[in-house]
Amino acid sequence: MMAPQVDPAATYRQEARELLEQLEAALLDLEETPDDRELIDSAFRALHTIKGSGAMFGFVAVANFAHHIENAFDDVRKGKTVLTRELTSIALAAKDYIRTLMDSPDEAPPGAGDRILADLASLTASAPAAGGKPPPADNGEKAPGLRKGAFETFRIRFYLPPDAVSLGTNPFLLLNELRSLGECTVVALTEAIPPLEEIDPARCYLGWSVLLTTDRSRAAIEEVFIFVLDDMTLSIDRVEVTAEEPKRIGEILVEHGLPQETIDQALTRQQPLGQILVKTGEVSPDQLAAALAEQRHLREKAEAAKSTAAKSETSIRVPAERLDDLMDQVGELVITQARFRQLASAIGDSRLKALAEEVERLASGLRDTTMGIRMIPIGSLFSRFRRLVRDLSRDLGKEVLLSTSGEDTELDKTVIERLNDPLVHLIRNSLDHGIEDKGGRAAAGKAEQGNIHLSAIHSGAQVLISIKDDGRGLDRARIRARAEEQGLLPPEAKISDAELLQFIFHPGFSTARAVTSVSGRGVGMDVVHRIIEALRGSVEVNSVHGEGTEVVLRLPLTLAIIDGLLVRVGANRYVIPLSTVEECVELSNAEANRSSGRNFLSIRGDLVPFLRLRELFDAKTPADPHPKVVIVSDDERRVGLVVDQVIGDHQTVIKSLSKLHADVQSFSGATILGDGTVALILDIAHLIAFGQADEQRRQAS
């Protein structure tokens, strides 16, 4: 089978998107610390790489536009231009425009690029007027300020970092850039190449010595290496060229750093250094033996260090579609393994059972490894909202700081991809409705700058994502009034605080007095609720009037494979997510009768309401004489689920329900068992809410 063809343009777009994210992060940090040289260099390198690679892969418009922004930041690096908030805002707008040129150039607003360059020209002296066309990237034209025709010769020696090639750096492109600067003589330095059997194909062992005659400056040569400069070994020395006889090899070696005494001795002696020194009596044989032993020892240590470095962590870029295909294949393997285990148990052969257990162990390990590959830090999502908060706070005339924690918390990539819209709506609501304006905060005795804190933390098999602000909090009286006005709540009906706050997620529900460009239509929070429920998660709201609001999203770690508890109710089997199970107890008929009609079970002194799943699912078969109760929990809420039989643990491959079953709220999905039958996965959050609401109705009646 032929390997899939790699699309260079797609590769460039993917790498450029990462560079644009890096650029945006650097620009946002520079607003707080405009004198940070490292951040300025980071922004410059990102622009330089986008420009150079864009020209290489045919993105001429991107390269031309990025060239102007790069020049502006080059002026900042050299101290010719002061980095102000206005310049940062222009650079952020330029970043957005570059993204548009790269992904959908036909949709770029007419004249947008010219307006950005005109704003840039007003702040930096080196920026061209709007509409000006720069030279193609790295095409060898003269750098600004050079003396035309003033040729100089430079000796350039460089070694790239060992992992440069594996990270995508092509040394031949660097050499071609040097050749574009003038007349070059290039020699490969091969002394660091190990024997063939020790070569790591992912490492770069070569170095290069380049003699370059050019009318470009030393800075132009350094720019060739700007995006690998931090980790490489580079020396650039000016070489004097005269009309006299060319230098001898010994003189050149001395200029390369070899002592003159060594050259003189080599000219008269042709034996190894140790032998020469022993013969002349300057070193004893024992001293020589000790020195040689020390040399061997140091060489062994150096080789061990090289081996350790060669085993250092590396990474490769894999298309997301391949990860999805791998997860699907692992899911099918888990289902097949369950069938194999059931078959081995039915046959009763001990050897077959042992083999089934080994296959189960390997499948479980492969499942965990595959799921680990799909897990990515949520910080990649959190970083997107810094720009959102910056721009919205300025539009609303507020000063708001976004702080984050738990960025290293990992979550399935599918979950993270679908979390963007809910978090955008929640942050926009916090900015528009939650955080007061400067006058309101001053009247409430609060700091002028508002704060929105975004955090993530693991909690068992779930991840809790919190969006917390220090604004005015939710107005419960207004929420109740709107709910009664829309017919969602009968007048003077008794309702808990948590249930009252849940009305903000109802479609079309809004407490805003006016519709703005940011919010007020009652759509955003409904979107949040629907998407989180589709992810098998839940939303909690906590608010203190005058102090702020916190919205907590509870999400599963993965949407692919979970550990479940397989139970039987009537003739059907169901799966309960194991992460929600606390314990299993028996429910005798005597205990059921002693409840006097109230569905409560005493668990170590605590009263826990329980649901009879036979009644809920309308089971027709006779009830088991010894039913079991599975105690499940969701945060602080606990409910018992009465089942006929607890079968055991089960690796559950989650399959989505069809659109015809979209309104069935008791189930979150389905799975295929080892015998080929289907078992439904219980939606524990819904069952707990139903059980507690049912008990409240019983108490009220």
Bridge-partner residues for 553, per DSSP? 465, 539
Residues 557/461, Cβ–Cβ less than 8 Å? yes
Q: In b/e form, how buried is each residue of 56-94, taking b as 16+ CB within 10 angstroms?
A: bbebeebbbbbbbbbbbbbbbeeeebebeeebbbbbbbb
Q: Report in angstroms the alpha-carbon separations of 224 from 40, 80, 177, 235.
A: 18, 21, 7, 13
Residues listed for the chain: 701
Catalytic residue among 64, 71, 429, 599: 429
Q: Assess whether 429 carries a catalytic annotation.
A: yes
One DSSP character per residue, 146-178 reads --TT--EEEEEEEE--TTTTTTT--HHHHHHHH
Q: Assess whether 547 carries a catalytic annotation.
A: no
Q: What is the maximum alpha-carbon separation in the chain?
A: 114
Residue 603 makes CB contacts below 8 A (sequence gap 6+) with: 583, 585, 631, 638, 640
- Write out the H or E segment, with its range, that includes residue 276: helix 273-279
Which residue type, as a one-letter code, is found at position 180? S
Which residue type, as a one-letter code, is found at position 118? A
Q: Indicate the angle between helix axes 413-429 and 385-395, nearest 10 degrees.
A: 10
Catalytic residue among 24, 48, 68, 650: 48
* Burial class for 293, CB neighbours closer than 10 Å (0-12, 13-18, 19+): exposed
Q: Report in angstroms the alpha-carbon separations of 364 from 335, 344, 437, 679.
A: 11, 18, 54, 20
Residues 643/636, Cβ–Cβ less than 8 Å? no
Residue 48 makes CB contacts below 8 A (sequence gap 6+) with: 70, 223, 226, 227
Strand bridging mode 400-405 / 450-459: parallel
Structure tokens at 675: 């015998």
Structure tokens at 56: 């290489």
Catalytic residue among 64, 67, 68, 70: 70
How far does the chain reach from its first CA to its final CA, in angstroms?
Answer: 70
Compute the distance between CA of residue 110 and CA of residue 149 in angstroms, rounded to an integer: 41
197-206 LR contacts (CB < 8 Å, sep 24+): 200/310, 202/163, 202/165, 202/166, 202/314, 203/162, 203/163, 203/165, 203/166, 203/310, 204/160, 204/161, 204/162, 204/163, 204/164, 204/165, 204/171, 205/162, 206/159, 206/171
Q: CA torsion angle for 284, 285, 291, 293 (degrees, to 10)?
A: -160
Compute the distance between CA of residue 253 and CA of residue 629 in angstroms, rounded to an integer: 86
Compute the distance between CA of residue 625 and CA of residue 628 in angstroms, rounded to an integer: 10
Positive or negative, the CA dihedral 635, 638, 643, 645 is positive
Looking up tokens 């002592």 gives 259
Q: Assess whether 222 carries a catalytic annotation.
A: no
List the one residue out of 645, 630, 635, 637 whose CA is nearest residue 682: 630
* Burial class for 50, CB neighbours closer than 10 Å (0-12, 13-18, 19+): buried
Strand bridging mode 678-682 / 667-672: antiparallel
The residues annotated with a catalytic role in the active site are 48, 70, 429
